[in-house]
């Protein structure tokens, strides 16, 4: 995998071994950021981060800061190594449950301009309702929420849908406030 655009364009990044994570392909990341547009100075939150590819892409494209949230310890180590390799210092890796993190961030009144959500495809329905309750509490005034699901799944959140597109076995849906 490589960073598609921005200051770290072309740099290779690692992905966790095994089948626990499913890294977002270069093609789907490029398409997602084409839908989002510029992310300069954005405060990003990468939920179910896996390899961290989406958040790393946001940082490369000019995001001010990114918080990566992933429960798998091996994946967290890979994200940390990718950040070190790319010399990206404006990031935090939280190795914990996404819903717990959202509750904590909401209580701290942290707000994000860009939220990247890539739950395991077979777990989306399990998380959808809780994400719908918690996400609005961590969004800035004009945020974008990018959700990656299996192509056959149409995510529903209490946010305004901006667009949805299918890319092979993946669907990218962008929501606004």
- What does the pLDDT look like over 74-122, one tens digit per residue? 999 999 999 999 999 999 999 999 999 999 999 999 999 999 999 999 9
Residue 84: the pLDDT is: 96
For the chain, the average pLDDT equals 93
CATH assignment, 26-176: 3.40.50.150
Domain boundaries, the chain: 26-176
Residue-wise DSSP of 18-86: SSS--PPPHHHHHHHHHHH---TT-EEEEET-TT-HHHHHHHHTT-SEEEEE-S-HHHHHHHHHHHHHH
pLDDT at 153 over 70: yes
Residue 23: the pLDDT is: 67
């Amino acid at each position: 995998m490589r960073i598609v655009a921005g200051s770290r364009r072309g740099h290779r990044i690692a992905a966790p071994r095994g089948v626990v994570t499913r890294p977002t392909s270069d093609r789907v990341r490029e398409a997602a950021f084409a839908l989002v547009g510029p992310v300069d100075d954005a405060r990003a939150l990468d939920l179910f981060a896996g390899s961290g590819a989406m958040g790393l892409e946001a940082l490369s494209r000019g995001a001010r800061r990114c918080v990566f949230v992933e429960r798998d310890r091996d994946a967290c180590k890979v994200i940390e190594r990718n950040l070190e390799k790319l010399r990206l210092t404006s990031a935090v890796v939280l190795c914990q449950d996404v819903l717990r993190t959202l509750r904590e961030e909401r209580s701290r009144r942290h707000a994000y301009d860009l939220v990247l959500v890539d739950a395991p495809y077979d777990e989306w329905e399990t998380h959808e309702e809780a994400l719908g309750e918690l996400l609005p509490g961590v969004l800035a005034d004009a945020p974008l929420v990018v959700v990656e699901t299996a192509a056959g799944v149409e995510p529903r959140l209490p946010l305004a849908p901006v667009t949805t597109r299918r890319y092979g076995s993946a669907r990218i849906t962008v929501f606004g406030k």
